[in-house]
A and B are shown apart, each in its own frame.
Chain A
Amino acid sequence: MTHHISVEPSGLRFQALADETLLSAAIRQGVGMPYGCKDGACGSCKCKKISGTVIHGPHQDKALSADEEAQGLVLTCCATAQSDVVLESKQVTPEGGLPVKKMPVRVASLEKKSHDVIVLKLQLPANDVMKYHAGQYIEFLLRDGSRRSYSMANAPHTLEVAPPTVELHIRHMPGGKFTDPVFTTLKEKDILRAEGPYGSFYLREDSDKPIVLLASGTGFAPIKALIEHMQHRGITRPATLYWGGRRPSDLYMADLVEARLAEMPNLRYVPVISNAEAEDNWTGRTGFVHQAVLQDFPDLSGHQVYACGAPIVVDSAKRDYVARGGLPEEEFYADAFTSAADK
Chain B
Amino acid sequence: MSNWIDVAAEADLFEGAGIAFAPEGQDIAVFKLEDGVYAINNLCSHGNAKLCDGFVEGHNVECPFHQALFDLRDGSVRCGPATEPAKSWPVKVEGGRVYLNLAS
Chain A residues proximal to chain B, CB less than 8 Å: 36-39, 41-42, 102, 104, 106, 125-127, 141, 143, 189, 191, 193
Contact = CB atoms under 8 A, between A and B. Distances in A.
B65 A39 contact: yes
B11 interface: yes
Given A42-B49, A42-B65, A191 B56 contact: yes
A127 B47 contact: no
A172 B15 CA distance: 28
B49 A127 contact: no
Contacts, number: 49
Interface in B33-75: 47-49, 53, 55-56, 64-66
Given A37-B49, A42-B49, A127 B16 contact: no
24 contacts: A36-B64, A37-B48, A37-B49, A37-B65, A39-B47, A39-B48, A42-B64, A104-B14, A106-B14, A106-B15, A106-B16, A125-B12, A125-B19, A126-B11, A126-B12, A126-B14, A127-B8, A127-B9, A127-B12, A141-B64, A143-B55, A189-B16, A191-B17, A191-B56
B19 A127 contact: yes
Given A37-B65, A42-B64, A125 B14 contact: yes
Interface residues of B, number: 19
Given A41-B65, A127-B12, 9 more contacts: A37-B47, A37-B48, A39-B47, A102-B53, A106-B14, A125-B12, A191-B16, A191-B56, A193-B55
B21 to A, nearest CB: 9
A142 to B, nearest CB: 10
A193 B50 CA distance: 13
Nearest to A104: B17
Contact of A193 (B8, B49, B53): B53
